[in-house]
Amino acid sequence: MKIIISNSSSVPIYEQIKNTIINQIMNDELKEDETLPSIRNLAQDIKISVMTIKKAYDELEQEGYIISRQGKGTFVAPKNVGLAKEQAQKEIEEHITKIINIADKFEIKKDEIIDLFELFYGSDDK
Asked if residues 47 and 9 have their Cβ atoms less than 8 Å apart, the reply is: no
Does residue 126 register a pLDDT over 80? Answer: no
Over residues 56-104, the pLDDT tens digits come to: 999 999 999 999 999 999 999 998 878 778 888 988 999 999 999 999 9
Verdict on whether the full-model pTM lies above 0.75: no
CA distance 113 to 13: 35
pLDDT at 88: 84
pLDDT at 64: 92
Does residue 111 register a pLDDT over 60? Answer: yes
